[in-house]
Amino acid sequence: MDTTTYRAYTNIALIKYWGKRNKELFLPVTSSLSLTLNEFYTETTLEWNTQSNEDTFTLDGQILDINAIEKVSRFINMFRDLSGIHRPVHVKSTNHVPTAAGLASSASAFAALASACNDLFGTNLSNKELSTYARRGSGSATRSLFGGFTVWHKGIGDESDSSYAEMIDEADWDIGMLVVMINKEQKKISSRVGMEHTIKTSPFYKLWPETVAEDLEAIIPAIENRDFPTIGQIAEHNAMKMHATIIAADPSMTYWEPESLTAMNIVRDLREAGIPCYFTMDAGPNVKVLCRLSQAEEIKKAFEKHFSSDRLVISGPGKGPHKIS
Amino acid sequence: MDTTTYRAYTNIALIKYWGKRNKELFLPVTSSLSLTLNEFYTETTLEWNTQSNEDTFTLDGQILDINAIEKVSRFINMFRDLSGIHRPVHVKSTNHVPTAAGLASSASAFAALASACNDLFGTNLSNKELSTYARRGSGSATRSLFGGFTVWHKGIGDESDSSYAEMIDEADWDIGMLVVMINKEQKKISSRVGMEHTIKTSPFYKLWPETVAEDLEAIIPAIENRDFPTIGQIAEHNAMKMHATIIAADPSMTYWEPESLTAMNIVRDLREAGIPCYFTMDAGPNVKVLCRLSQAEEIKKAFEKHFSSDRLVISGPGKGPHKIS
């Protein structure tokens, strides 16, 4: 085989990943839980490089800078080492995600790349095993090896194998998200930098691990029971606790923009009007509204009073990565 | 004497009061520290009531509802009991503060009322003693019995006398505030309700007392040394930690409005441009910018790109309450 193309979907954490205990291995401070979305994905074609002795890489048709290529090459080295095939590759990725706008494009990107590597290098890893490799490209990519509701286990000590993802529910029921794009530009402060600043300076971060453990323990049975309001309430609270740790950093910072608050208020108003929906936010200004997929159009209409419709994307649950060609 | 009129100024906490340990006596969970402002004040005229056997009360020319009158009457009862003079009074208050918009109008109101009562009832309390009475009208009123930088000591156990205010610095140097009025309307959630909801449901509140103690210990020497950047940095961080405890409540809430974030960003941009200034916020959307009074006009100009000038008020430090007539 000379070429392979994989598609992998992004995921939105309902219980957030916020902090690494091992930066080298991307081992997280806590476990986390997400919903994979079918409207945001990366397609990655991987082929043996016959033009160059080095890896080459285009993203959305653009040649990437040297830092990005080095990061991707180091990632691919894991598969060269595993397979013993030390050949350069050409990577061609297309993001169907606003890059770095807080929609976790790196999640779908490294899940697609890991899947393509597994195929081209013939390493034959299971998705569970593959998730421990995807993790080392981007923490949240761990969860994009599966669809539906997926848990990423924090694992034990410095054992890379112990920190893998696992689907706990296919999400083949009435659930989805409305993604409100507040800002499609590159964000000012990356999640890595915000995470490190928070861990170093926020007095509240020390309570983060225990509060996540409690939220996970409560949300897993709620997912099993398809108890949507409980899932939503735990997810919203968990996200706000993450943002509270950031706001309490020194100097204070926030990923929120004025329109993020507008979007949160619309969600609160919809709830007061009897429509169950809940917001979550990552290390960026966008607001994701967890809702009944059957009510997403009605919720989108309420948002259209404040946001143009091209900034509002409804998505149902997504699957794990799959081979396109 | 048949009538007396006092003016008292509002204050803005730099180290916040957020939580009562005794609701009856308004005893706080932590000590706090504020700067009194000379542009926002209440004038209160107190006179023996010759028209009625009950207390009557007008605020800004309006007759108040029964709940407000009862609260004021109970407050005045403390002075009737102290003096043995059980006569009804008429209270006429004028606020030069946007009521309940987060500018602590209750602070200046109860400081003025306490001062007027002390005079009319002849109770002859010192301002330190009087601050323990003002406290029972509104916690933040405790600090408005003094000008400049004032500490409100949390005190001991349930001993009302032990929780008093004390001026630590006259603030007779180059310091002031720019108040950015985000919303002059009554706020949706009172500070009392937000405080109780936070204490009950925010997992981070339990760290609030220790973080305030650290901030107080650091800001007091900075005030003594007139070390403005350190004062500002501690105040901004303390305010954001308070708001972080609120954001982490369940269900989550915030006093921030979209324009609050706009104002915070202007402050951050000014700092990047080399102009030292720091924001603080209370249980409302308004943003108060601590700055060099000599630079306040320049800072106001930067805000005028986003806010009309009638929403921007510069204030120097204020004094304690004083008799007008």
- A83, A18 Cβ separation under 8 angstroms: no
Same domain, B61 and B191: no
Query: Looking at CA atoms only, how far is residue A241 from chain B in angstroms?
Result: 5
Same domain, A43 and A190: no
Residue type, B213: A
Same domain, B8 and B110: yes
Same domain, B97 and B234: no
Q: Which residue has the tokens 């403390």?
A: B78
Same domain, B164 and B234: no
CATH code: domain of residue A277: 3.30.70.890
- Report yes or no on A272 lying in a domain: yes
Same domain, A20 and A159: yes
Averaged over A14-23, what is the pLDDT? Answer: 97
Q: Which residue has the tokens 């606003």?
A: A98
Same domain, A221 and A262: yes
pLDDT digits (tens, 9 = 90+) for A51-79: 999 999 999 888 888 888 999 999 999 99
Last-in-domain residue among B109, B137, B172: B172
Averaged over A203-209, what is the pLDDT? Answer: 98
Averaged over A127-147, what is the pLDDT? Answer: 97
Identity of the residue in A211, A247, A257 whose CB atom sits nearest the CB atom of B203: A211
- Report yes or no on A233 lying in a domain: yes
Same domain, A209 and A158: no
Start-to-end Cα distance in chain A: 11
Residue B122: give the domain boundaries: 3-172
Strands B287-291 and B176-180, how do they pair?
antiparallel
Last-in-domain residue among B152, B172, B192: B172
Same domain, A120 and A55: yes
CA gap A208, A240 in Å, rounded: 11
A233 CB neighbours in chain B (<8 A) are: 250-251
pLDDT digits (tens, 9 = 90+) for B261-294: 999 999 999 999 999 999 999 999 999 999 999 9
- Report yes or no on A137 lying in a domain: yes
Same domain, A159 and A206: no
Identity of the residue in A211, A233, A240 whose CB atom sits nearest the CB atom of B247: A240
Start-to-end Cα distance in chain B: 11
Q: How many domains does chain A have?
A: 2
Strands B89-96 and B56-59, how do they pair?
parallel
CATH code: domain of residue A118: 3.30.230.10
Helix/strand/coil percent split, chain B, to 5: 40, 25, 35
Same domain, A90 and A131: yes
- Report yes or no on B130 lying in a domain: yes
- Report yes or no on B66 lying in a domain: yes
Same domain, B25 and B134: yes
If one counts every other C-beta atom within 10 angstroms of the C-beta of residue B23, the result is 9
pLDDT digits (tens, 9 = 90+) for B111-137: 999 999 999 999 999 999 999 999 999
Which of A240, A260, A262 to probe by mutation at the B interface, max B CB count within 10 Å? Answer: A240
Name A229's Cβ contacts closer than 8 Å, sequence gap at least 6: A276
Spans in chain B with pLDDT lower than 70:
97-104, 184-187
**A240 vs B233: CB contact, 8 Å cut-off?**
no
Identity of the residue in A204, A248, A257 whose CB atom sits nearest the CB atom of B261: A257
Last-in-domain residue among A172, A201, A220: A172
* pLDDT of amino acid B101: 47
* pLDDT of amino acid B1: 79
